[in-house]
Amino acid sequence: QKEVEQNSGPLSVPEGAIASLNCTYSDRGSQSFFWYRQYSGKSPELIMSIYSNGDKEDGRFTAQLNKASQYVSLLIRDSQPSDSATYLCAVNIASGNQFYFGTGTSLTVIP
């Protein structure tokens, strides 16, 4: 079983809609959770980090963490074509230097 699992997509949403990206992880000792955005041909960019259960909002982005169910999600409100990218979920176990990445979900926002 992979440490971090994501639906590879592709996920398509119309412009202005809410895009919902989901991620599950296997290690209950996981402490830190991250969402990265990677445009084609570019390196990943950290867009959200979340450390405790509940929601964390930053502009149009909301990260949701549920440690009991071992999932973390990213909501993108008012999706824009510029949000079209691959979104990577990452988990840090035991606040050390072990990070596990999902394979990414490809998002396309249709104008």
Partner 1 sequence: GAVVSQHPSRVICKSGTSVKIECRSLDFQATTMFWYRQFPKQSLMLMATSNEGSKATYEQGVEKDKFLINHASLTLSTLTVTSAHPEDSSFYICSALSLAGANYEQYFGPGTRLTVT
User: Mask: binding to partner 1, 75-94, rule CB under 8 A, as x and -?
Assistant: -------------x-x-x--
Binding of partner 1 at residue 46 (CB under 8 A)?
yes
Cβ-contact 85, 76 below 8 angstroms: no
Nearest alpha carbon to residue 43 among 106, 88, 100, 99: 88
* Residue closer to partner 1, measured from CB, 25 or 34: 34
CB of 99 to partner 1, least distance (A): 6
Q: Around 49, how many Cα atoms within 13 Å sit in the side-chain half-sphere?
A: 7
Binding of partner 1 at residue 95 (CB under 8 A)?
yes
Q: How far is it, in rounded angstroms, from Cα 5 to Cα 37?
A: 16
Q: For CA atoms 41, 36, 105, 100, give the dihedral sign.
A: positive
Binding of partner 1 at residue 18 (CB under 8 A)?
no
Binding of partner 1 at residue 42 (CB under 8 A)?
yes
Structure tokens at 54: 């509940």
Interface ranges with partner 1 (CB under 8 A): 31-32, 34, 36, 41-46, 49, 51, 88, 90, 92, 95-97, 99, 101, 103-104
